[in-house]
Amino acid sequence: MTQGYNISANGIRQHLIRHPGPGPQMLLVPGITSPAITWSFVAERLAERFDVHVLDVRGRGLSQSGDLDYSLNAMAADVLGVIAETGMRKPVILGHSMGARVAIRAARIDPQIVGQLVLVDPPVSGPGRRAYPSPWPWYEDSILMALKGCSGEDMRSFCPTWTDEQNALRAEWLHTCQLDAIRTAYDGFHTDDIHADLAEIGLPLRLVVAGGASVIEDGDVAEIRELAPQTEVRTVEGAGHMIPWDDLEGFLAAVMDL
């Protein structure tokens, strides 16, 4: 049975949703404006293979928010704290977008408690690199709309390819994404150097690329493979950055055979 729960880890309240499965354990770290509940339709399928715990990243969903540190290092420390506090044993960390960058930094800090990384379309922006392709106003305008109260139909102007159910859920939960937390993470896409982290990681690593998006290009894949030669690459052709929203079966095919 799916169950939400709270723990204290890294000094704050961390909320997770567990989708029990046979194992191995998987800690799923969503992207910049994706509360844990919005990944439920994916996690329930992943639970056919994994014991899935989906994290509400600080400043989002039901985890602690307010006057906190929202840096990449703080989020990575949360992941390590959650693993330790829950007693997970070398879980797979599946991170999407921002969550993939968090997973990379966590594995760089303490590789001993991580089993494997699955990096789903991580932003490859950073110091001296091209900018992340999604403009800041897309995030700010949608969050401000959600803070006032909005419908799924209102959200469709921001997520036109999503289903009615997906837009309704985003409209319901986006207001829990604290605007300054999102801004800090977005700015970090351009200032944090995850490539330096990748060069220091020897863990098994799978990169899942959205073939219909421009977040990761062929040259980026080649660079990641050079930095971390153990990287397996799976491409979900035609899918946008929110891969499971566009092609759930394609996404599952890219990750279920770990």
Q: Give the catalytic positions in this structure.
A: 97, 217, 241
Query: Which segments within 30-180 are labelled E, that is strand?
Result: 51-56, 92-96, 116-120
Expressed in angstroms, the distance from the first to the final Cα of the chain is: 24
Q: Which of 64, 52, 50, 16 is nearest to 36 (CA)?
A: 16
- DSSP assignment of 156-220 equals TTT-TTS-HHHHHHHHHHGGGS-HHHHHHHHHHHHH--HHHHHTT--S-EEEEEETTSSSS-HHH
Q: Which amino acid is at 35?
A: P
CA distance 55 to 78: 10
The CA distance from 39 to 55, in Å, is 10
Copy the structure tokens of residue 50. 């994994």
Q: Which residue is it, tokens 């509940």?
A: 37
Encoded tokens for 11: 């000094």
